[in-house]
Structure formats: C-alpha cells, structure tokens
Structure 1
Amino acid sequence: MPGPAAEEASHPPAPWRFRGRLWAGVFPARHRQPVPADLRPLPGGSSHLVVGLVRYREGTLRYDELAVGPLVRRGARAGLLIDRIWVSDPVSVRGGRDIWGLPKELAEFDWTDRSVRVSDRAGLLAELAFRPGRLGLPAVPMPLPGFSGSVGRRLFVPGRLVGTLRREPLAVVSWSERLPALATTVPRLSVAVRPFRMTVPGPVPC
C-alpha cells in the first residue's frame, strides 16, 4: 500500500507529455459543492461533480489517475477545480505537488476489462465501470484546463490533448463516504477520449 516513497521521489520537470486513455463523467451531487472565495462555479457547477479517470500508458511517466471536482471559473478562465486527486505512482505525486500545486495522493488501481477499483491506505475510494461505445470522431485537439493551488496562490493548468472523442457509458459501482456524496451513480454526461496525446505545461499564476 502507499508509503513514505511518495514523499521522497524526485520528478521530471514540466511539461509532461503522455499517450493514453481518458474517461470522464458529470454526476449530480447530493449537496452543493463549496467553491473557494477566489473562484466562481460555472452554471450548475456547484451542484455537479466531474469524475475523471486516466490511464497514462506512454510518455513522461506511466500511471493511473482519479480526479474529482466541480467546474469553476476565474475571470475568463474556466476548468476543473482539482481538489481531490489520486495517482498510482509516487513520482507523479511529488511532481504534481511541486510543479502544479495539486493535492495528489497515492492509491492502487485494480483494473478489469470494464472496471477499476481505486483504493488508498484507508480502503476503497471508488469503483467505476465503463463499456466501449460507438466509434469516435476523428482525432481533434481539445483543451483540458484545471485549477490548483489555494486562495492567494491560485494556479491555472492549461493542459491540452489531441484524441478521439467517444460517447461511452460510465457508472459508479461503489463510492466512499470520504468523497462528496453523489445524488445518482449514473452521470448526466459521460465521454471517453481514447487514444489521446496530452501535454501538461507548467502552471500559470492567476
């Protein structure tokens, strides 16, 4: 299980570049999500949670990732508030914290063909199920923006990717009480981007 290595690992500098697969769903939340004072929720953003699942299979590092947060904006910039994020690699933990101010924690990802279980030291965080959908569109460039840091030290992460967008079902099978409560285990919208090529540059203070 996760241990002290997460605190000791060195990391490569930004930008990080990857190839892999991504799934994301927008789920109604049981309660309105708190948003820091320097940010504003997008319309409906505080009443929904984005759940993102990524497999980085080639590139700067190879690891799995689960991120959960609301959609917010700061001025003209909009993106995911990345305030809960788990990864399977201690080097990614250290790089995420040092470079982008991301609160990354270490977790284990147990995959089958159509599901994944994500667990940390305290036990199961989430189990997600997905299944292949229809053939996707030709590969297109897409922004992948996010916010990290804290009030007074807010950072904008201008990620971007090129990939094949697919409409694919994503569902929550299990969900820890340590995570924000969901109103339903079926998302309002779910998509996959597979395969993708992604670049995550250094953050922009905002």
Structure 2
Amino acid sequence: MASHLIQGRTVGMPVRVRDAEVCSAFYPVRADAARAVLAYSGLDVAEVLPGKAVCVLLFVDYRDGDLDAYHEFGMAFLVRPPGVPGSTRLGDLRRAGLFVHWLPVDRPFTLEAGRSLWGFPKELADIELRLGSPYKRCILRKDGRLVLDLLIKPGTSVPGVTTMAPPAAYTHLEGVTRRVPWSVRARGARIRPSGALIRLGNHPIAKELSELGLPKRAMFTSTVSHAELTFGEAEEA
C-alpha cells in the first residue's frame, strides 16, 4: 500500500473518510464564462444544454477521517474528460468529470495533504457551518471578506444505503492536471429541485460566481447526513 509523509505523519492510500455530512447545490451557468474560468486547466466544460454548463457548490463537515476533522467548501464544474468529444445530449453527461476549481478548508494539515497528494486547490478560509437545523447553511469568508452565504433546504428522502460511483474528479495545480479516483457510500440522502438560497459577498471568488451568470434558482440540491468517502492515488490526466 502506498503511503506519503505529511507534516511528519504517514498517510496511507487510499485515504478514507468514515463519516461526513455533505450538502451541494447544482447551478446552470454560462458555458462561455465557465470556459474562461477553466482555461488554465486544459479541460472543457460539459454542456447540459447549448450554451449552459453546470457549477457545483458544496460544503462538507468531515467528522472522522484519515485527515482528521475539518470543514470544506468546494466550487467545481462538470467537464468533458480528456479525449471525450463535446456534446449537449443529457445522456452523455454520465461520462462527465468533476473539475475542482477552488477548495478552501479550515485546517492546515488537510490543506497540505490535499495539495500534495492530489493537487486539490486548497486554501485556508473561515468556514462556518450551521447543520443542526433542517436547513443547512455555510458562511464562507476568505481574508476577512465574505465570499458567500449559502442555505440549502433538504428535500425528499432517498431510502437505504447508496453506494455511488461519482464522476471522476479532476484537479490542476502547478501546471499539472490530475485525475483523482474516489467513491462514496451515502446514508440519509435527500434531494429536491431548486432548494438553495445564496448571497454573494465582495470577495474576488464572489465576483467570479456573479460573472458566470449564477441564477437565483439552483437546478437541484442534495444533502447526505452520513457519507463514507475513499480517495485513491492521483494520476496525471
């Protein structure tokens, strides 16, 4: 089994998260604007409809895992994996990947591990999660400036335990694009159309989201009260 040394600690692969709460909102955005944002990666967005890409905003409470407990926020896009031709057919989205554009966290150890192991674009930020009520809320600040305040309303329950093969994750750091294999096992999943309220702040990332044409309504939202995740060894894409 491969292992890596991070801040004097040995981290074995694959990295396992034994318990996390995950909340996400999927937004239709302008494909041309999303392409401009992702130009540095060499990847192209997957269009759900002509001229429309998908931006995923998510926040996670990692409660128990190999990288300790921490909070995380993610900004990602559905993309065409390298070598896959462009299409706007909804069925072809099953082949789409998930490119992680920005991934702030609130602990230094997971920041270094995420960057060195997988090339995740992790930065330190102030991430306040309010998960104790039916509504799930994330207030994200970076460098003392509000990035966003995102509220997600849980929807219809998905019964049982669901083992998912999610889209392959892609990252880009220091000129290298990587593919990160991962898997999810979910309990307490809920999903609903729309279901999100968002307020953007005055941080540059908030401006970037605004310029994507982020609409008032999400396509749909999802919440998972108990998720187990596994992250494998990254490969150059």
Residue aligning to 1:166: 190
* Counterpart-to-counterpart distance in 1, 2:104 and 2:45: 23
> CA 1:174–1:62 in 2, change beyond 3 Å: closer, same or farther?
same
1:67 aligns with 2:74: yes
Aligned alpha-carbon RMSD (Å): 2.5
Residue aligning to 1:123: 145
* Counterpart-to-counterpart distance in 2, 1:185 and 1:53: 18
| Number of aligned positions between the proteins | 199
Residue aligning to 1:135: 157
Displacement of 1:132 in angstroms is 3.1
Q: Which runs of 4+ in 1 moved over 4 A?
A: 8-11
* Counterpart-to-counterpart distance in 2, 1:136 and 1:153: 38
* Percent pairwise identity: 21
Paired AA for residue 67 in structure 1: G
**Structure 1 segments unaligned to the other structure (5+ residues):** 1-7
Which of the two has higher C-alpha Rg?
A: 2
1:96 aligns with 2:114: yes
Q: Are the aligned partners of 2:145 and 2:203 in contact in 1 as well (CA < 8 Å)?
A: no
- Match of 2:62, SS state, is strand
Q: TM-score, normalised by structure 1?
A: 0.84
Q: Are the aligned partners of 2:118 and 2:178 in contact in 1 as well (CA < 8 Å)?
A: yes
Paired AA for residue 143 in structure 1: A
> CA 1:125–1:146 in 2, change beyond 3 Å: closer, same or farther?
same
Structure number with the higher helix fraction is 2
Displacement of 1:79 in angstroms is 1.7
* Counterpart-to-counterpart distance in 1, 2:125 and 2:175: 29
Residue aligning to 1:4: none
Displacement of 1:177 in angstroms is 4.7
| Worse overlay, 19-28 or 180-189 | 180-189
| Worse overlay, 126-135 or 32-41 | 32-41
Residue aligning to 1:81: 99
Residue aligning to 2:25: 25
* Counterpart-to-counterpart distance in 2, 1:69 and 1:174: 17
- Match of 1:29, SS state, is strand
